Amino acid sequence: MQVSEMSNQKTEKREAIRRKNQIYKVAELNNRNTHFSNINASKDVWWFDIPLKKVNPGADRMLHLLLYDHRSREIHHLRVPTTYIRDNLSQLVIRDEKETISLELSTDRLNLFQDVRPTAGGVHFGQFLVS
């Protein structure tokens, strides 16, 4: 989705959720089930710290990742089943001190939406792209 009104380098989570829900015509996304990232200032990745409790059995079945690309002014939406994250936990970076999963999703076209943390297993998330 091209978001022509977003002319600044960054956007905010609240604004990204509002714009996507407006397109979907239903309030599917909210602060509880959605994580948001701008491209990192020092590295071409979207960076997330996702609490482990959000992917545990009994949590929501879907986790929504909104990734804002200031270069194209697009908001990418990944609708990721929490079972997929649980099935790939051994290949993801877990920050035990924070009880989070740390993701660095690549902005590079060759490995777009792939976790590229140096100690991770290169888990791909592109198949969950909604828009």
pLDDT tens by residue, 15-32? 888 888 777 766 778 888
Averaged pLDDT, 92-109: 95
Averaged pLDDT, 83-91: 96
**H-type helices in the chain, by residue range?**
13-24, 82-87
Cα torsion 112, 42, 33, 20: sign: negative
Q: State the Cα–Cα distance between residues 97 and 52, nearest whole angstrom.
A: 11
- Alpha carbon distance, N-terminus to C-terminus of the chain: 6
Averaged pLDDT, 69-80: 93
The answer to whether residue 5 is domain-embedded is no
The answer to whether residue 1 is domain-embedded is no
The answer to whether residue 99 is domain-embedded is yes
Q: Looking at the 3D structure of the chain, how many domains does it have?
A: 1
Instruction: Please name which of 6, 77, 1 lies closest in space to residue 46, comparing C-alpha atoms.
Output: 77
25: tokens are 């015509």
